[in-house]
C-alpha cells in the first residue's frame, strides 16, 4: 500500500505535467481506500463517458458566451469585495450539456451547465452552476462510485441497473438528482432554465458579518422544458441555433439570487435540497448574455468555483473542496489533447 503523502504528491505532479497523467492515474488507482484524488475523479468521468481529445472531462459539449453582470445594491451590502462597486462588469461564460460526451444530444435528460467569470480586469468571480438544485454526490467517494456504476455495459452499451441499485444502497443521495431530472424533459433553451450553485458560500460584509447562501441564476424568460412533440421532433443540436436566434433580437437575461438556508439546511451537503424555510432570497444582480463568444476564450481557461473575490468564502462542503484540483487535471488533459 502506498503512503497517502506519496499519493498526494503524485497528483500534484500530474496536474503540473500532463505527460505523466496516465502513469500517475494508474499508480493512484492501485492505492488504498483513501478519498479519491483529483486524478481518480477525472478518470471516473473518462471511464464513464470516454476520453475525447481536447474536450472537458465533464460538460464536454458547450458554447462560449459573452455579456455583462450588473451587481445589485444588496450584493454590495452583503460582500465587501470592491469588485461589486462597479455598476457593470464584463462577463464571459460557457453554457453546456452535462456529461463528458461532446456528441451528447441537447434533448438528453441531463443537467445543463452555466460557468461564468465576471471581472473588472483585476478581480474575478467565477460561478459554476447546473440546472438542478442538488448535486448527485455528497462526497468524492460517492462521486466516483456514482460514475463507476454508470459505465456502459459492453453488451448492452447501457448502464447496468443492478450496479446503479448497489450504488444507491451504499450512497442513497445518489437518487436525488436523477429523480429531479426524470421529473421533466430537457430545458427548451439555455435561456429557459434556472442554474444552481448546489454548494454554499459565505458572503462577508465590511463589518465582518457573514451571510450563508446557495446561488440561483433565475431566467427572465421563465422555466420551460421541452414538450413531448418538441422532444420527438427537434434535432440533437438545437440549443445553439435557438440561442443564436434569441440573441439576434435581445440579450438573454438572468437574475442572480442568494437563497438562504433554513435552520435544518446543510451548508456542507450539496446533494440535499434546501427547504425554503430560510429568509426570502436576496437579489444579487443581473446577468445579460449579449452574444456568442469564441471557443478559444472559454477553452483556454478553466472556470473554478472556488476562484472567489474577497468577501465571498467557500463552505467546507467536501464536493466544493474537491472541484478545483479535478478541474485542473481535466484542463491539463484537454490542453495536452
65 contributes a contact to ligand HEM by CB under 6 A:
no
Residue 163, φ and ψ in degrees, nearest 5: -65, -40
Region from 54-62, 102-110, 219-227, 275-283 binding ligand HEM, contact rule CB under 6 A: 54-62
Among 303, 308, 309, 311, binds ligand HEM (CB under 6 A): 303
Out of 11, 49, 143, 146, the only residue in the binding site for ligand HEM (CB under 6 A) is 143
Using an 8 Å Cβ cutoff, are 44 and 38 in contact? no
Report the alpha-carbon distance of residue 54 to residue 29 in Å, rounded.
23
Catalytic residue among 52, 59, 167, 184: 59
138 is an interface residue for ligand HEM by CB under 6 A: no
Q: Which is nearer to ligand HEM, 14 or 80 (CB)?
A: 14
- The residue (of 124 and 330) whose beta carbon lies closer to ligand HEM is 330
For the record, the C-alpha cell of 195 comes out as 442554474
The DSSP secondary structure of 240-304, one letter per residue, reads HHHHHHHHHHS-EEEEEEEE---TT--SS-TTS---S-SSPPEEEEEEEEEEE--HHHHHTS---
Check binding of 257 to ligand HEM (CB under 6 A): no
Nearer to ligand HEM, 203 or 303 (CB): 303
- Residue 296: which residues within 8 A CB-CB, separation 6 or more? none
- The answer to whether residue 86 is catalytic is no
Q: How many residues of this chain interact with ligand HEM, rule: CB under 6 A?
A: 32
Contact predicate 71/285, CB 8 Å: yes
Alpha-carbon distances of 28 from 20, 142, 151, 172, 328, rounded to whole Å:
12, 17, 19, 26, 17
Among 67, 71, 99, 113, binds ligand HEM (CB under 6 A): 113
Nearest 5°: phi and psi at 6?
Answer: -65, -40
- Return the beta strands (E) in 72-223 as ranges: 89-97, 112-119, 124-130, 195-204, 210-219
Alpha-carbon distance of 309 to 135, in angstroms, equals: 24
User: Looking at beta carbons only, is 81 or 302 nearer to ligand HEM?
Assistant: 302
Under rule CB under 6 A, residue 135 binds ligand HEM: yes
Q: Which is nearer to ligand HEM, 134 or 234 (CB)?
A: 134
When computed from its CA atoms, the radius of gyration of the chain, rounded to whole angstroms, is 20
> Among candidates 115, 36, 6, 94, which has minimal Cα distance to 321?
36
Site stretch for ligand HEM (CB under 6 A), options 172-180, 218-226, 282-290, 325-333 = 325-333
Q: Is 201 helix (H, G, I), strand (E, B) or coil?
A: strand
Q: Does 130 bind ligand HEM (CB under 6 A)?
A: yes
Q: Is 61 in the site for ligand HEM (CB under 6 A)?
A: no
**Would you say 66 or 230 has its CB closer to ligand HEM?**
66
Show contacts with ligand HEM in window 152-211 (CB under 6 A): 197-199
The residues assigned a catalytic role are: 59
Q: Which residues contact ligand HEM (rule: CB under 6 A)?
A: 41-42, 45, 56-59, 62, 94, 96, 113, 115, 128-130, 135, 140, 143, 197-199, 270, 302-303, 319, 322-323, 326-327, 330-331, 334
Amino acid at each position: 500500500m502506498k503512503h497517502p503523502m506519496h499519493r498526494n504528491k503524485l497528483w500534484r505532479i500530474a496536474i503540473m505535467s500532463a505527460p505523466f497523467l496516465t502513469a500517475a492515474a494508474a499508480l493512484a488507482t492501485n492505492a488504498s481506500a483513501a478519498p479519491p484524488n483529483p486524478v481518480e475523479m477525472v478518470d471516473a468521468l473518462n471511464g464513464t463517458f470516454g476520453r475525447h481529445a481536447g474536450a472537458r472531462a465533464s460538460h464536454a459539449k458547450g458554447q462560449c458566451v459573452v455579456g455583462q453582470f450588473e451587481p445589485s445594491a444588496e450584493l454590495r451590502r452583503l460582500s465587501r469585495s470592491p469588485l461589486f462597486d462597479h455598476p457593470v462588469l464584463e462577463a464571459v461564460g460557457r453554457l453546456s450539456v452535462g456529461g463528458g460526451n461532446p456528441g451528447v444530444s441537447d434533448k438528453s435528460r441531463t443537467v445543463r451547465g452555466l460557468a461564468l467569470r465576471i471581472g473588472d480586469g483585476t478581480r474575478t468571480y467565477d460561478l459554476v452552476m447546473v440546472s438542478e438544485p442538488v448535486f448527485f454526490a455528497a462526497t468524492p467517494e460517492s462521486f466516483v462510485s456514482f460514475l463507476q456504476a454508470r459505465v456502459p455495459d459492453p453488451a448492452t452499451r447501457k448502464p447496468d441497473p443492478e450496479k446503479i441499485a448497489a450504488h444507491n444502497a451504499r450512497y442513497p443521495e445518489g437518487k436525488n438528482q436523477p429523480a429531479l431530472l426524470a421529473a421533466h424533459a430537457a430545458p427548451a433553451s439555455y435561456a429557459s432554465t434556472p442554474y444552481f450553485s448546489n454548494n454554499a458560500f459565505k458572503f462577508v460584509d465590511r463589518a465582518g458579518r457573514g451571510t450563508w447562501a446557495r446561488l440561483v441564476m433565475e431566467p427572465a424568460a421563465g422555466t420551460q422544458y421541452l414538450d413531448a412533440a418538441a422532444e420527438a421532433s427537434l434535432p440533437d443540436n438545437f440549443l445553439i441555433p435557438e440561442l443564436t436566434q434569441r440573441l439576434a433580437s435581445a440579450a438573454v437575461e438572468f437574475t442572480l439570487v442568494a437563497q438562504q438556508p433554513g435552520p435544518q439546511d446543510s451548508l456542507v451537503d450539496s446533494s440535499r435540497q434546501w427547504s425554503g424555510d430560510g429568509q426570502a432570497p436576496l437579489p444579487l444582480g443581473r446577468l445579460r448574455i449579449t452574444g456568442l463568444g469564441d471557443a478559444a476564450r472559454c477553452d483556454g481557461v478553466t472556470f473554478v468555483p472556488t476562484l472567489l473575490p474577497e468577501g465571498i468564502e467557500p463552505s467546507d462542503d467536501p464536493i466544493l473542496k474537491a472541484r478545483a484540483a479535478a478541474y485542473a487535471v481535466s484542463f491539463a488533459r484537454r490542453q495536452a489533447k
